[in-house]
Amino acid sequence: MDKINLNTPAGNSSIIFQEDGLQAVKKWIDDKYPSSRIVIITDTNVGAIYQTQLANTFSGALALSVQAGENTKRLASVKQLATELINDEITRSDIIIGVGGGMVTDLAGFIASIYMRGITFIAIPTSLLAMVDAAIGGKTGVNLEAKNILGTFYPAELILLDPLFLNSLPDREFKNGLAEVIKYAATLDSSLVEDLMKDEVELLTILQKSAQAKTKIVNDDFKESGLRKVLNFGHTFGHAIESISEYQLLHGEAVAIGMIYANKVAQNLNKQAPEVGDKIKELLDKYHLPTEIPSGFRVEDLVEFIKKDKKRSGDKITFVIAPEMGKYEMVELSAEELIKLIQ
Ligand code: GLY
């Protein structure tokens, strides 16, 4: 498999898998949009490594760089970047390519979706987390008070998943992405367990299987009215843990702990055999992902966060569990019920 299609009411994405894939992106643009100008949005970390390669491939492109870090994912950056687009006379028939981790692809996708009411967007994720999750599925956004409060559903027309970018990724960031792959193994594709248990993971295989799992869900429920919530396995507690740690824990690390909580809930509901929870923990342990809340954390604080979060989205929490490896079930629980189930 070298290509997957995502088909949504807001447009379609082609996801291509290719080592050294920048040339393939260039060719795609030359074939489809030969007279468009190209804007590359990246951050200071990714730019420092790939600037020359990007400039050589997309010669003449307008290269814009933002400060690396989640703090950049805000309206001030949107305004600054959009002003640069205006100053450079970028029009509606031009193209924005976001090259970077989830922060960059979310931010660049958001700008592409609103600049002159929407211009073509291409995503080149460079972190494992962005490759297997953030860059696929059309969610864009910036933070305001909370994460992703301002955002759009705007699929990238082309997404390049190139495992060679992962060579420059720090080990902790790589494992951060593996937590989301373990999420797919637990809820959507049990064949990933075998892939993840190998001494050396085959990157192309896990990228393809993860992208396949995610696109299958997003194809059926683009705007998250139901099914797409399965992608939140481990995220109810994960988001709480991530936020309470003040983002000292990475997203995947927090989700890893959240998956352990999800197993506890499932087992207390008599909906998961202990072997299933043990297998998920074994995978997390193999990649040295955390499985316990750090010392100093109070369960009461997690509960408070979840309750507050609920105020934004309604009474009951749609909580995702994995009754069997590679299967999912959604249970509706109040925050109070959820608290009892993690004791
Ligand atoms: N990251 C979850 C989703 O794309 O829906």
Q: What is the pLDDT of residues 92-148, one digit of tens each?
A: 999 999 999 999 999 999 999 999 999 999 999 999 999 999 999 999 999 998 889
What is the chain's pLDDT, residue by residue, as a tens digit (343 residues)? 689 999 999 999 999 999 999 999 999 999 999 999 999 999 999 999 999 999 999 999 999 999 999 999 999 999 999 999 999 999 999 999 999 999 999 999 999 999 999 999 999 999 999 999 999 999 999 999 888 999 999 999 999 999 999 999 999 999 999 999 999 999 999 999 999 999 999 999 999 999 999 999 999 999 999 999 999 999 999 999 999 998 899 999 999 999 999 999 999 999 999 999 999 999 999 999 999 998 888 888 888 888 887 655 667 889 999 999 999 999 999 888 888 898 7
| pLDDT of amino acid 258 | 97
- Contacts of residue 112, defined as CB under 8 A and 6 or more positions apart, other chains included, come to 96, 98, 118, 119, 120, 121, 140, 154
| pLDDT of amino acid 186 | 98
| pLDDT of amino acid 57 | 98
| pLDDT of amino acid 188 | 98
Residue 131 Cβ contacting ligand 1 at under 6 Å: no
Q: How far is the CA of 266 from the centre of ligand 1 (A)?
A: 22
In 51-138, where do the E strands start and end? 62-66, 95-100, 120-125
Kindly state the tokens that stand for 159.
């997404």
Domains of the chain: 3-168 (3.40.50.1970), 171-341 (1.20.1090.10)
Classified as helix, coil or strand, 91 is coil
Q: Give the predicted TM-score (pTM) of the model.
A: 0.96
Residue 137 Cβ contacting ligand 1 at under 6 Å: yes
For atom 3 of ligand 1, the residue with the nearest CA is 231
Name the pairing type of β-strands 3-8 and 11-17: antiparallel
Q: How far is the CA of 133 from the centre of ligand 1 (A)?
A: 6
| pLDDT of amino acid 158 | 98
* CA quadruple 172, 244, 254, 281: dihedral, nearest 10: 120
Run of H or E including 211 = helix 203-220
Please name the residue that has the structure tokens 């590679």: 326
In 10-165, where do the E strands start and end? 11-17, 38-43, 62-66, 95-100, 120-125, 139-144, 146-153, 158-161
Please name the residue that has the structure tokens 């987390």: 129
| pLDDT of amino acid 334 | 87
For atom 2 of ligand 1, the residue with the nearest CA is 231
CA 69/CA 209 separation, integer angstroms: 28
Mutate to test the pocket of ligand 1, among 105, 159, 224 (most ligand atoms within 8 A of CB): 224
Which one-letter amino acid corresponds to residue 340? K
Mark residue 20 as left, alpha or beta (left: phi above 0; alpha: psi -120 to 50; beta: remaining): left
Q: How far is the CA of 118 from the centre of ligand 1 (A)?
A: 21
The end-to-end CA distance of the chain, in Å, is 44
| pLDDT of amino acid 312 | 59
| Integer CA distances (angstroms), 49 to 99, 123, 203, in order | 11, 17, 21
| Integer CA distances (angstroms), 200 to 93, 126, 178, 195, 286, in order | 43, 20, 13, 9, 12
| pLDDT of amino acid 311 | 59
